[in-house]
Amino acid sequence: MRTAMRQGPEIWIRGPVPSPDAEVAPPEHAPAHATARRFSWVGLHGGAGVSTLAAVYGGHDSGRAWPGAGGPRSVLFVARTHAAGLECVVPAVEAFRSGEAPRGLDLEAVVLVADAPGRLPRPLARRIRLIESVIDVYRVPWVPEWRVGDLAGRPPHGTETPARLTGAMR
Kindly report, residue by residue over 10-55, the tens digit of the pLDDT: 444 444 555 556 555 554 554 444 455 689 999 999 999 999 999 8
Q: Is 63 part of a structural domain of the chain?
A: yes
Contact by Cβ (8 Å): 74, 38: yes
For residues 115 and 80, the answer to whether their CB atoms sit within 8 Å is yes
Nearest in space to 36 (alpha carbons), one of 13, 7, 12, 57: 57
Give domain status of residue 74, yes or no: yes
Identify whether 158 is part of a domain.
Answer: yes
SS3 127: helix
Q: For position 156, what pLDDT does the model report?
A: 75
Residues 6 or more apart whose CB falls under 8 angstroms from that of 7 comprise: none
* Residue 18 belongs to some domain of the structure: no
pLDDT tens column, 120-133 = 999 999 999 999 99
- Strands in 106-113's sheet, in edge-to-edge order, are 60-61, 39-43, 74-80, 106-113, 137-140
Look up residue 72 and give its amino acid: P
Domain hosting 128: range is: 39-166
31 found inside a domain:
no
- Amino acid, single-letter form, for residue 108: E
Interval 107-117 mean pLDDT: 95
pLDDT at residue 169 in the model: 58
Confidence of residue 6 (pLDDT cuts 50, 70, 90): low
Mean pLDDT score across all residues of the chain: 82
Question: For the whole model, what pTM was predicted?
Answer: 0.75
Q: Which DSSP state fits 86?
A: H
Q: Judge whether 66 lies within some domain.
A: yes
Domain count, the chain: 1
pLDDT digits over 58-83, tens only?
A: 899 999 999 988 889 999 999 999 99
Task: Kindly state whether residue 75 falls inside one of the protein's structural domains.
Answer: yes
CB of 83 closer than 8 Å to CB of 112: no
Q: What is the mean pLDDT of residues 85-107?
A: 94
> b vs e for 139-155, b when ≥16 Cβ sit within 10 Å of the residue's Cβ?
bbeebeebeeeeeeeeb
Any domain includes 30: no
